[in-house]
A and B are shown apart, each in its own frame.
Chain A
Amino acid sequence: MAIELKNVSKSFGGVHALSDVSLSFGGGKIYGLLGPNGAGKTTLLNIITNRLYADSGEVLIDGEAAPGRDRALGKVYMMAEQNLFPDSMKVKGALKITADFIPSFDLELAMELAQKFGLPMGKKVKALSTGYSSILRLVLALSAGTPYVIFDEPVLGLDAQHRDMFYRLLMEHCGGGGQTVILSTHLIQEAAPLIEHAVIIKGGRILRDASAEELTGAAHTVTGPAGLVDGYIAGRQVLNTTAIGGLKTACVEGEPDARVPAGLEVSAMGLQDYFISLMNEEDAK
């Protein structure tokens, strides 16, 4: 029971948006799809939901080829970056029509959440501000109840309070293991604690696909006098180094040594730091 992508490629006018991407999302986990802007995150999600067709490769949902199939596509609800409601539709109408389409949609919950966020029910969807447009779409996705829920840049235009509310609600309503969640974002710091499994994408290629723990546990930073640090990192896979005066910091792949030489400080790496190091390493290539 999973969304599977097999060797999916897509290009737009000769530019490779996705190159030979193979991934699997399932098991009621919360996935983070992380990458800088323009990495191909939205293209990937649009292909899963059949808004776009891949140039080559397969998309399977619970083992069934998804493109063009109602049953497979109906299992996925995506909070897209864009609004696909008719121009004349009002917020209330958008909630109601979603209930028409999706049997598992919890209209009562959606109404309650809309009220919590202060969504103006009588306003036209098209006339909503960026923030409220995001809120409407995330209220719909939080209430969808489908086996797979995708959030594409969910907190775009949201203020701090509403972002906080969203993360809580996400854990409360989609974190129970009954739904597989894909959270696509470039705001890694905020999303990191929520994510169980991270997929890191850049330039249309998957750089890492592993549990968040594995990724952050797979690297550490050492700080200390340059000479000591150089000695420590010799023969290790180094992601990047920075130096200020005689003080040097290195991000190193793998577990730290059981015995760290005195004078060196070792700390675990957050997902965001890992991500930044990885991006720097890629840019340097």
Chain B
Amino acid sequence: MAGFDESRPIFLQLAEMLEDGIISGAFPEEGQIPSITEYSAALKINPATALKGINLLVEDGLVYKKRGVGMFVSTGAKEKLLHKRRENFYVNLARPTAQEARALGLSLEELQKMMERGYKDGDRA
């Protein structure tokens, strides 16, 4: 399955994987997510690492534990995540992109045109 990137902690990567799953609908709200052992076995990672990754989502209120049953996706988790990801998108991608565009001497209009092109290319990809 997923190969992990050595340069970043595995538990963060696992948390992202889970978030991706919630956003894509692979883990629907109020649906159960795999257990620590299942993650640990499937991804060949230490159970403590798996727990740490999942706990990140628990802390954010995206996932909750039902005693003796397992872990479930909270209602509203997807919306919350999309909101968070959009914020991150601005900070991590949009703003640096704009700054880089400015450094390269692109005008705002030119940048907008490029973004339009990129957005449309997304259809074909």
Name A residues whose Cβ lies closer than 8 Å to a Cβ of B.
29-30, 164, 167-169, 171-172, 175-177, 193-196, 212-213, 267-268, 270, 272-273
Contact = CB atoms under 8 A, between A and B. Distances in A.
B42 A30 contact: no
A194 B46 contact: yes
Contact of A194 (B6, B37, B45): B45
Contacts of B45: 171, 193-194
A164 B44 contact: yes
Tell me what chain A mostly uses at the interface: helix, strand, loop, or mixed: helix
Interface string B27-46: 00000000001001111111
A175 B46 contact: yes
Contact of A193 (B37, B41, B46): B46
A178 to B, nearest CB: 11
Interface stretch (B7-15, B71-79, B84-92, B96-104): B7-15
A26 to B, nearest CB: 14
Contact of B47 (A168, A171, A268): A171
A90 B20 CA distance: 49
B48 interface: yes
A38 to B, nearest CB: 27
B37 A172 contact: yes
B47 A175 contact: yes
A212 B48 CA distance: 11
A193 B4 CA distance: 9
Interface residues of B, number: 17
Nearest to B45: A193
B37 to A, nearest CB: 6
Contacts of B4: 193
B46 A195 contact: yes
Interface in B45-74: 45-49
Which of B4, B7, B46 has the most chain A CB atoms inside 10 A of its CB? B46
Contacts of A172: 37, 40-41
A169 to B, nearest CB: 8
Given A193-B4, A193-B10, A273-B6, A30 B46 contact: yes
B113 to A, nearest CB: 29
7 contacts: A30-B46, A167-B44, A168-B42, A171-B37, A176-B47, A194-B44, A213-B9
Contacts of A175: 37, 40-41, 46-47
B46 A196 contact: yes
Which of B6, B7, B42, B49 has the most chain A CB atoms inside 10 A of its CB? B6
A272 B37 CA distance: 25
Nearest to B39: A171
A270 B6 CA distance: 6
B44 A193 contact: yes
B66 to A, nearest CB: 19
Contacts of B49: 193, 196
A71 B10 CA distance: 39
Contact of B7 (A30, A193, A268): A268
